[in-house]
Structure 1
C-alpha cells in the first residue's frame, strides 16, 4: 500500500530501523512494536467498565425512567432488570471476547459471523453516530452539572453549557492522545471519585430510611404504566445508564491476559454498578416525591441541597468528576473502534495509524472528538438517548445472534468462557423488543432517520470498500501523507 510506504518513509525520517520503535525513551527502555501495547490490567479493566457505566446516566435518567414507568415500584424494578440484562449481555460478550481476541467491540464478531457488509454497517453507524453522540451526551451532562451551581434557581445558558462541553471534549482527547497509561490513571482516579459520591448518596439514603422517610414507597405501584412502548422507553433510559458493560471488548488487544481478566472484570464490575444504581434511586425517593423528582433540573443536586446542606456543593463537584470519567472511558474505547475499522479497510486509512512517539491511535481519537463537538450543537439529550438506544440495541441483538451462529459455524474456535445458548437467545429477543416496541407503540421520524442513515452507508461501501475505485485512492494519498506528517503517525506493524 502507498500509505504503508509513506509510513515507512516517516519511520526512516525519525531514525528508526525496520518496523520497531521506542514508544517512551530511545536509550532507556526496550524497543516496542508500532502496535497498541498491553497496558490495561484487571484493575484498570474494572475501572473502565465501572467508570464508563457510572457517568451521566444515573444523574440524568432517574426522572426519565420514572416518567415512563409511572410509579416508584416499577421504576426500581426496571433499574434492577436493566442490571440483570446488562450482566447477561456482558456474559455473551465475555465468550466472544475470549474466543476472538481482537479489539473493536462488536466489529470483529460481526465480521466473523456475518461478513464484511454487516461489520461495515456497524462500524459506519457506530463511528459516525453512536460513539461521538454518546461522548457528546456525557459531556453535555458534565457541563450542565458544572454550571448549575453558578445559576441558582434557573437553567444555565445553553451557550455556556455547549462551550463547557466542547472544552471537556478537547481536554479528554488530548489526555487520550498523550498516553494510554495516563488515560488509564485518569480513569482509575475518577472511578474512585464516583464511587465515593455513590456511597455518600446511598449512605444518606439509608440514614433517611432509618429515620422513617418511607412516604414515597407507600402504594409504590399506583399509577404504573401498562403501555408496552412506555416500558420500552423506560428500559431505554435505564439501559442508557448501564451502557458501558461492553466497553472492555473494544480494547481486548490492550488487555493483559484477556482470557482471565475480561470475564473477571465483567463479573466484578456489573453487579457492583447494579447495587449502586438501585441504592441511589432508593435514596432519591427517600427525600423527593415522584412529582418533585420529575420537576428537578438536577436530581442529585436537589438531593444534596435537602440532605447534605451546607456541604451540598460536594455532590455537583463529584458528579462532574463522575461524568468526566465516563467521557474519558467513552473516548478511550471509541478511538479503538475507528482504529480497527480503519485497519480493516472500512474507514479511511489514516484512522488506523498510531502515534510514533506515544503508541496511541491519535487520528481515530481526534476524529471522534471532532464529531462529538458537532453533536453538541443540538443539545437535546433525551432525543439523542432514544435515537442512540434504538440503533445500539439493533447491533447488540445482531452480536448475540452472531454468538449463536458461530456455535454452529465456528465450532473449532477455543472458548475459555462458554455461556448457555439460552442467554444469547434471550438477548436477541430482548433486543427485538427494545427496537420494535417503541416504534409500534408510538412511531417517530427519528427511528426512520436512524434506519435510513444506517443503510445509507451502503452508498459508500460499494464504490470505496468493495470496488476500491482508483480515483478515491489517488485523492486520499496526498491527504493521508500530509496528515501523517502533521500528526507523526505510522501504520501499525503487522503482528501475529
Structure 2
C-alpha cells in the first residue's frame, strides 16, 4: 500500500489561495451591494433630510465598521479557524453558543439574505425588458434570481480560485460604476447645479437639526451600517488566506476606508442633482441620478446594480459556505487594545436597545425564541450524541457524490 497516499488523504485541509488583493476584493465587493445604488436614502430620512448630518453619519458608520473589523482582525490573527463567529462564540461562551450562532446563520440569516439579493438581481435584470411603469412578473424575477444562485453555487463548488476571480471582476465593475457616478456628480457641482448648490449651502440646516432625536440617530446608524454589512466576511475564510496574520488587518485597513470614502462621495454625487426629498422618495436613487446626468448612458445603472448584487452574493457564498463546513467539522478573549472592543460593544448594545425602546414589537420576542430553540437540536444531537437513523449512510453517499472528505482539525472549544 502507498502510505504517502494514505497520509495525504488523512491530511485533507483547505488550501491557502486568497492573497491580499483578493482579500480586499472579497471585503469591498461584499460590502458594496445594491444598497448604495438603490436605497441609500434611509439614513438621510432618519436625520430629517439634513445633508450635513447625513454625510457625517455615513463617515461615522464607516469608522464604526472599521473599528469592529479591527476587532475581528485581532480575533482572526489569534484564532486561525475559519467560520469566524462560530469559532469565536464557541471559544468565548462555550459550544452551545457557537452552535446557536451557526443555527441562526445557516438556517435564517444567510439563506434569507441570499434570497433577497437574488430577487434584487432579478428585478434589475428584468427591468429593461419592461420599460416605463411596467413591473416585471414575479416568475421572471424569481427565475433570474434562481439562475444566479445556481450559477454561483456551481462556481463556488468548482473552485475557490474561480470564485475569487469572479469576485475580483465584480468588485472592479462596481467600483468603476461608482467612479462614473462620482465624476458625474462633481461635474454637476462644478457647473453650479442649483439643486446641488442649495443642498450644500444649507448642509447643516439648524431647523431640521433641532428636531433630530437621540433615538433617530441610532436608527439612522442602522440604515447606514446596513450598507457596510460584510466587513467581517474575510474571517470566515481565515484558513484559506495566505499569511492571514498579515493579510487580515492589511485587507481591512485598505477595504473599509476605501468603501467609506466611496460611500460619502456617492452621496455627494446624488445630492449634486437631487433634493433630499427626491432622494427619500426615489425607489432607486442611482437610476434617478442616471436619468438626470447620464442621459442615453443611464442603462449603465441597472447593469451596475446587477453586477453589484451578483458580486455581493458571490462574496457571501464564498465566505458563508465555510460556516456549515466548520460547524460540521467541529462535530457541531484574546487580549486587544481593549478600548476598541469596548467602543464596538457599547455601540452594538445601543443599536440593539434603541429600536426596541423606540418601537416595541412582538417580532423581537419571536426572534429570541427562534434563537433559543437552537438549544434543542444541540442538546439532542451534539451534547447527548443521538444520531438520526441512516444519517451515516446519507453522509457516506454525500461524500462520494461531492468528492468530499473529513478534515483534520484541533478542537479549539
Calculate the TM-score normalised by the size of structure 1.
0.77
How far off its partner does 1:64 sit? 1.9
Question: In structure 2, do the counterparts of structure 1 residues 136 and 228 end up closer, same or farther at CA, with 3 Å as the change threshold?
Answer: farther
Other-structure match for 1:286: 272
Contact 1:65 1:75 in 2 (8 A): yes
SS at match of 1:76: helix
User: Is 1:491 matched up with 2:406?
Assistant: yes
Structure-2 residue corresponding to 1:163: 143
Aligned 8 A contact 1:61 1:238 in 2: no
Q: Which has the bigger relative contact order, CA under 8 A and spacing at least 6?
A: 2
Worse-superposed segment, 259-268 or 310-319:
310-319
CA contact 2:39–2:285 (8 Å) conserved in 1: no
In 2, are the aligned partners of 1:61 and 1:237 still within 8 Å (CA)?
no
Q: In 1, distance between residues paired with 2:146 and 2:93?
A: 37
CA-atom RMSD, angstroms? 2.1
Return the alpha-carbon distance in structure 1 between the equivalents of residues 244 and 342 of structure 2. 25
Is the contact made by 2:57 and 2:224 (CA closer than 8 Å) also made in structure 1? yes
Moved more, 190-199 or 144-153: 144-153
Q: Which residue of 1 is the match for residue 231 of structure 2?
A: 245
Alignment of 1:25-64 (within 5 A): 33-64=11-42
1:81 to 56, 60, 72: 60
Gapped runs of 5+ residues in structure 2?
none
Among residues 272, 297, 301, which one is paired with 1:315 in the alignment?
301
- Residue-by-residue CA offset, 1:167-192 (whole Å, 9 max, x unaligned): 21111111101101000100111111
Once the two structures are superposed, the pairs formed by residues 365-380 of structure 1 within 5 Å of their partners are none
| In structure 2, C-alpha distance between the alignment counterparts of 1:276 and 1:259, rounded to whole Å | 27
Deviation at 1:121, TM superposition (A): 1.2
Residue in 2 that maps onto 1:273: 259
Residue in structure 2 matched with residue 207 of structure 1 by the alignment? 187
Corresponding residue number in structure 2 for 1:442: 359
| Distance in structure 2 (CA, Å) of the matches to 1:156 and 1:186 | 27
Inter-partner Cα distance in structure 2 for 1:316 and 1:58 = 13
Counterpart selection for 1:260 from 231, 246, 253: 246
8 Å CA contact 2:67–2:340 kept in 1: the answer is yes
Q: 1:237 to 1:125 in 2, by over 3 A?
A: same
Residue by residue over 1:175-218, the C-alpha shift from the partner in whole angstroms, topping out at 9 and shown as x without a partner, is 10110100010011111111100110111111111111222234
- Within a 5 Å distance, the mapping from 1:11-160 to structure 2 comes to 17-20=5-8, 33-71=11-49, 72-154=51-133, 155-160=135-140
Do structure 1's residue 302 and structure 2's residue 288 form an aligned pair?
A: yes
Note the C-alpha offset of 1:19: 4.6
Render the CA deviation track for 1:130-178: whole Å, top value 9, x for unaligned.
2222222222222222222222232433332222222211111111011
Deviates more, 1:190-199 or 1:151-160: 151-160
How many residues are treated as equivalent by the alignment?
402
- The structure 1 residue matched to 2:152, chosen from 172, 175, 180, is 172
> In 1, are the aligned partners of 2:39 and 2:284 still within 8 Å (CA)?
no
1:494 shift after superposition:
4.6
In the alignment, which residue of structure 1 is the partner of 2:202? 219
The answer for the alignment partner of 1:481 in structure 2 is 396
Equivalent residue in structure 1 for 2:161, among 174, 181, 189? 181
Runs (5+) with no aligned partner, structure 1: 1-11, 22-31, 347-402, 408-417
Deviates more, 1:219-228 or 1:207-216: 219-228
Q: Distance in 1 between matches of 2:125 and 2:279?
A: 20
Matched residue SS, 1:223: helix
Q: Is the 8 A contact 1:229 1:442 kept in 2?
A: no
Q: Aligned to 1:425, which of 342, 352, 361?
A: 342
Cα deviation digits, residues 231-253 of structure 1 (max 9, x gap): 33322221111011111111010
Alignment correspondent of 1:340: 326
CA distance in 2, matches of 1:19, 1:455: 41
**1:18 aligns to what SS in structure 2?**
helix
